[in-house]
Structure 1
Amino acid sequence: MVIIGIDPHKSSLTAVAIDHDGTTVASRRFVVNAGTATALATWSQRWTERRYAIEGAKGLGRGIAQILVAHGDDVVDVPSTLAMKVRVLSTGGGRKTDPDDARAVALTALYHRDLHRVHREDQSTILRLLSERRDDLTRERTRALNRLHQLLRELIPGGVPTGLSADKAAAALRGIRPASVTDACRRDLAKDILADLRRLDANIKANEAQMRDAVAATGTTLPEIHCISTVLAAKLLGHVGDIGRFPSADHFAGYTGTAPLAASSGERTRHRLNTGGNRQLNSVLHTVAVCQARDPGPGRIYYQRKLDEGKTPTEARRALKRRLANVLYRRMRRDQQAPLPAAA
């Protein structure tokens, strides 16, 4: 088995092939263009048994990784942080070149058997794209609202109440009579921002409709869980992808950052808060935990039990997040085994 490590860049990629002993057997740099995949495949045909290891297969390496997977090749994703550590250890210092990076990627795949295998993009990729688009739209809408609040505060004594919407802003603008040329400019700018706000509201609404259809196409039952909306379900499915890549609920909890980390030393046994993991998934679990701790139901009962045990509200909420990670893992594993709904 030959492992071909690939260090991708925007305009080029470097491939280094190593054998089972870690010895470099070939190396080549490719210019990124329409024929890169063909050139790479032709160069690697000499090895009948091969595996591609690509650094950042969901980032700069996404294009070549998807092409190779579509051709039936075995491809694994190598995290850049892990490859960096292997490079430093294998070179004995901080020397960094593209061939060194590609070789480190190959060595990482040689010695780490639990790397994520790259699969063809599917419905989860669509959900992730839609979820990221919604986040972008929401941030833009927040900025527009803040700017609109500022202008209205300068035009209206005391400004306008919180909870501003496009309709409320339009009503406020209709009652403004500029006292100077400067105020007239402020009013015109506020009208422009109001138009941006209405456009963003329409885009967010269209995005939610797309997200609703995409979630329904997966056949997931996540929205049946209390406090998990279509938007949260889309973010969960988009960032988790194939739930089967997590061998247990504990592994999934570690990925979401809800499992505490062991920090024992000597005879002292302790754990600390996990500030790593996928922060998008951690944010979803936090939102669901806050909602379930507030509303009547199993989540509220569990949260209250932790409070009765002497935990602080923050500690009780973290415990609820950890429990929710188990619930979501089991639900997604069950959904994965269920047949998809028939197309209409």
Structure 2
Amino acid sequence: MFKRAKDSAVKARTQQLTGRIRDLEHRLARLVKCHFPQLLIPVGMGPDSAVTLLITMGDNPERLGSEASFAALCGVSPIEHSSGRHHYRRLNRGGDRQANAALHRIVQTRPRYDPRTRGYYRRRIKEGKTRREIVRCLKRYAAREVFNLVRPASAGSPA
């Protein structure tokens, strides 16, 4: 009898928290649509990823001088790690891990829904690139796209 009461209390609390999560997700989506609707246009970019990247960019996106600085801030800037005749690049392991995870979600979604990304992926595979190298490049492209979408909108806004 006690177990059933406990299970129903847990179920009620889970439903309550799920409702709060959905409410917060809807509020975040409305805020993104209101202030940066252009971030919801790219394939694979949802409100969660957009908010995470906006938080990483901060209140003053003008402090980021280039898309390369934003990529470094997100931890998707390439770093050389070569040995002998082999020249490799890997992703920067520093930076904001949440932003990196948001870019990773975008990159994992795009091949399923974006024909340009599928074509890019196939072309790079034929060139002999590994899946890891392709994801690294796609993350950098996604960071560049986000930077260019946010930066023009913030340049005209009053300080």
Q: Same fold (TM over 0.5)?
A: yes
Instruction: Assess, with a 3 A threshold, how the Cα gap between structure 1 residues 298 and 266 changes in structure 2: closer, same or farther.
Output: closer
Gaps of at least 5 residues in structure 2 are none
Gaps of at least 5 residues in structure 1 are 1-183
Instruction: Assess, with a 3 A threshold, how the Cα gap between structure 1 residues 249 and 219 changes in structure 2: closer, same or farther.
Output: closer
The secondary structure found in structure 1 opposite 2:12 is helix
**1:247 corresponds to 2:54:** no
Residue 297 of structure 1 aligns with an amino acid whose one-letter code is P
**1:195 corresponds to 2:12:** yes
Q: Is the 8 A contact 2:49 2:103 kept in 1?
A: no
Question: How far is the alpha carbon of 1:338 from its aligned partner?
Answer: 4.9
Question: How far is the alpha carbon of 1:269 from its aligned partner?
Answer: 5.4
Question: How far is the alpha carbon of 1:254 from its aligned partner?
Answer: 1.1
**1:329 corresponds to 2:147:** yes
Aligned to 1:302: 120
The secondary structure found in structure 1 opposite 2:94 is coil
Question: How far is the alpha carbon of 1:267 from its aligned partner?
Answer: 8.9
Structure 2 CA distance for aligned equivalents of residues 212 and 284 of structure 1: 15
Structure 2 CA distance for aligned equivalents of residues 195 and 187 of structure 1: 12
Aligned to 2:98: 280
Question: How far is the alpha carbon of 1:293 from its aligned partner?
Answer: 1.7
Structure 2 CA distance for aligned equivalents of residues 302 and 291 of structure 1: 14
Instruction: Assess, with a 3 A threshold, how the Cα gap between structure 1 residues 293 and 249 changes in structure 2: closer, same or farther.
Output: same
The secondary structure found in structure 2 opposite 1:261 is strand
Please give the residue correspondences for 1:1-344 in structure 2 after superposition, counting only pairs within 5 Å.
184-241=1-58, 242-263=60-81, 270-338=88-156
Residue 337 of structure 1 aligns with an amino acid whose one-letter code is A
Q: Is the 8 A contact 2:90 2:136 kept in 1?
A: no
Question: How far is the alpha carbon of 1:316 from its aligned partner?
Answer: 1.4
The secondary structure found in structure 1 opposite 2:44 is coil
Residue 329 of structure 1 aligns with an amino acid whose one-letter code is F
Structure 1 CA distance for aligned equivalents of residues 86 and 122 of structure 2: 29
- Cα distance per residue 1:106-157 (max 9 Å; x no partner): xxxxxxxxxxxxxxxxxxxxxxxxxxxxxxxxxxxxxxxxxxxxxxxxxxxx
Question: How far is the alpha carbon of 1:314 from its aligned partner?
Answer: 2.5
Q: Is the 8 A contact 1:259 1:322 kept in 2?
A: yes
Q: Is the 8 A contact 2:71 2:143 kept in 1?
A: yes
Percent of pairs with identical residues: 29
Structure 2 CA distance for aligned equivalents of residues 267 and 298 of structure 1: 32
Structure 2 CA distance for aligned equivalents of residues 264 and 310 of structure 1: 17
Q: Is the 8 A contact 1:256 1:279 kept in 2?
A: yes
Residue 23 of structure 2 aligns with an amino acid whose one-letter code is A
Residue 80 of structure 2 aligns with an amino acid whose one-letter code is A
Structure 2 CA distance for aligned equivalents of residues 303 and 270 of structure 1: 18
Question: Structure with the greater relative contact order (CA < 8 A, sep ≥ 6): 1 or 2?
Answer: 2
Q: Is the 8 A contact 1:232 1:284 kept in 2?
A: yes
Question: How far is the alpha carbon of 1:262 from its aligned partner?
Answer: 3.0
| Structure 1 vs Structure 2 CA RMSD | 2.4
Q: Is the 8 A contact 2:29 2:47 kept in 1?
A: yes
Q: Is the 8 A contact 2:107 2:142 kept in 1?
A: yes
Instruction: Assess, with a 3 A threshold, how the Cα gap between structure 1 residues 323 and 255 changes in structure 2: closer, same or farther.
Output: same
Instruction: Assess, with a 3 A threshold, how the Cα gap between structure 1 residues 269 and 319 changes in structure 2: closer, same or farther.
Output: closer
Instruction: Assess, with a 3 A threshold, how the Cα gap between structure 1 residues 265 and 315 changes in structure 2: closer, same or farther.
Output: closer
Instruction: Assess, with a 3 A threshold, how the Cα gap between structure 1 residues 225 and 296 changes in structure 2: closer, same or farther.
Output: closer
- Cα distance per residue 1:214-273 (max 9 Å; x no partner): 223324410011111122211211221132211111111111111122346899855343
Q: Is the 8 A contact 2:57 2:70 kept in 1?
A: no
Q: Is the 8 A contact 1:211 1:234 kept in 2?
A: yes
Q: Which has the higher helix share?
A: 2
- Larger Cα Rg: Structure 1 or Structure 2? 1
